[in-house]
Structure 1
């Protein structure tokens, strides 16, 4: 799950005063935008916001000059890249073919241009820090430090932990239904919504997997897979919220409720993939679906008198408060943990509590149905 860094490229030369002024001006739209949707569900917003590729660091003359020199010489300071001796189509320029990067290392797609940008950014930030300046963004991202070729190591770790927490929750839910709670004579669970939560678990695992991949390396393919997986999870979560809160049990009724939403989500993904990856429109769709299910769950928790409604409310309120981290979009501490990574970290315990609520709901619903059966 990234915020719009937004605004076009700045003039090539900035005075110290102008640079500080522009930084403040760029932060205002981010704060106004986040306040519009900070109350959205924490599970579903990790990847619904786009990243534009123009920032203050991009316009820095020293940074641009460093990149140009690197692509000609293949070096940034004392660091040189053998694969910079090759053109973009892989043809040898002034070196033998075996100097190209091995195939087993090309998965990360750190080509000559990417390596030049990264090391020029690192050197430029060292110079800025020595002059007393705060870090700035480059191509829509803070200056993160790589670890084994991973672009945002902290976000990758926290995404992986979220994935592990969802797997643990889904597996414990499965064990509860089939091995701890009573089952029907046909060995099926009494809980009416078991299938819905199983599919939810699979979509959540898929979404967090691609979140980890996207933070490992931000390229067009990983970006699209991350976005579309998150949208699919968000849309399906809304369906689950409606079906559970309104106690829709008949299959025909479930199809009637789900079909329009599934059609809308599918159309939205196809539009983004085949026509235009419109970050603004995608943000509006994500916000609308997220706020809708947030209100549905919150109201249902109060109206139904569910015994575990406090868990539901705690997840909603705490997850919403955690989104405030995005308002104070601070640069990465020691080059690793920024506000977005910290937000991912807060969702880990909340995911555990969310699945705890789902399991409580299964126990509660099963006990109600058994009483009716008697």
Structure 2
């Protein structure tokens, strides 16, 4: 079954987007001059930064080792260059707005305004909300299986896909967690964790789609389906993190897995007599419409809300419906299995 995050091509956004260094904003000579001057003087107009007393490698310019940049600033990468780029961008956008020019991208990203240190606060908030929705869905699924539905004599659920959905829930919450972190601050580490988590969830969702739609119940069959896909996914993640962060290749891999998964579930929803298949259709159609938000990529309103943030917002209700479908599936199959036992 397909996660709302993956049922459209938008699901591959973490796979598609690479942070570029040749956008219109950072190619602007006035912006470049501002950054160069800031890194030399430590100031943008009247605003000065204490961390510009340190070199970008963290060593002190005019003091001993114990005067080096604090570790928490170094970890968050709020170094002199980051602050200079951000505040020069803000000042340059003010100048462009004064002459009725629209915003442009800087280093591959729209000009977002920080809020309490968060780089893209609205996307962070909706990523966290999606994480909470998955946790709520997983918890309600667990309560349904172990406290509301009949159990076998060994106290195990009748539903034969229970363990697979538990793994799916953990991967989903992990992916949304790193999505929130990545939108908080885009650095190499957070980017790789977000990309890797997204690929892992996408690949596992494809495996789960095949197993559930074809009702693969025996362990040998599951291993035969999962093993080659898990090997490929693992190799792909290792390739991105240890050899080359190839955005183009990553895009192709993610698109193939997403489209394959979408086709599998579309066919299954069309031929099955599942009583709650309409919920699956809502998720599929809703996710397809949400894709328009990514096609129509617009600058962030007031520096905070862009198309990607709105896409994160649409996945919140879709996630609720999705977990409702999973619970319905557990009830439906449990009822059928009990009837067969009797």
TM-score (norm 1): 0.87
The aligned residue for residue 60 of structure 2 is: 92
**1:216-255 correspondence runs (5 A):** 216-255=184-223
The aligned residue for residue 309 of structure 1 is: 277
Contact 1:83–1:99, Cα closer than 8 Å, also in 2: no
Which of 101, 116, 123 is residue 133 of structure 1 equivalent to? 101
Contact 1:191–1:365, Cα closer than 8 Å, also in 2: yes
Cα offset, 1:221, TM superposition? 0.6
**1:240-279 correspondence runs (5 A):** 240-279=208-247
SS at match of 1:59: coil
Matched, 1:163 2:131: yes
The aligned residue for residue 370 of structure 1 is: 338
Cα offset, 1:89, TM superposition? 2.9
Which of 155, 162, 180 is residue 194 of structure 1 equivalent to? 162
Cα offset, 1:136, TM superposition? 0.3
Cα offset, 1:92, TM superposition? 2.5
Matched, 1:117 2:85: yes
1:214-268 residue CA offsets vs partner (Å, 9 max, x unmatched): 0001000100000000000000000000000000000011001110111111111
Call closer, same or farther: CA 1:116–1:43 in 2, change over 3 Å. closer
**Gap regions ≥5 residues in structure 2:** none
Q: How far apart, in 2, do the equivalents of 1:338 and 1:347 lie?
A: 15
1:110-129 residue CA offsets vs partner (Å, 9 max, x unmatched): 10011000000000000000
**1:43-58 correspondence runs (5 A):** 44-51=11-18, 52-58=20-26
Q: How far apart, in 1, do the equivalents of 2:75 and 2:143 lie?
A: 37
The aligned residue for residue 318 of structure 2 is: 350
Of the structure 1 ranges 314-323 and 121-130, higher mean CA displacement relative to structure 2 is found in 314-323
SS at match of 1:169: helix
Cα offset, 1:311, TM superposition? 0.4
**1:62-81 correspondence runs (5 A):** 62-81=30-49
SS at match of 2:15: coil
Contact 1:243–1:254, Cα closer than 8 Å, also in 2: yes
Cα offset, 1:280, TM superposition? 0.8
**Gap regions ≥5 residues in structure 1:** 1-37
1:286-306 residue CA offsets vs partner (Å, 9 max, x unmatched): 111111111111111121111
Q: How far apart, in 1, do the equivalents of 2:57 and 2:21 lie?
A: 23
Matched, 1:213 2:213: no
The aligned residue for residue 18 of structure 1 is: none
SS at match of 2:186: coil
SS at match of 2:14: coil
Q: How far apart, in 2, do the equivalents of 1:97 and 1:77 lie?
A: 29
Cα offset, 1:194, TM superposition? 0.4
Q: How far apart, in 1, do the equivalents of 2:72 and 2:36 lie?
A: 28
1:264-293 residue CA offsets vs partner (Å, 9 max, x unmatched): 111111111122111011111111111111
Call closer, same or farther: CA 1:42–1:175 in 2, change over 3 Å. farther
The aligned residue for residue 151 of structure 2 is: 183
Q: How far apart, in 2, do the equivalents of 1:257 and 1:142 lie?
A: 41
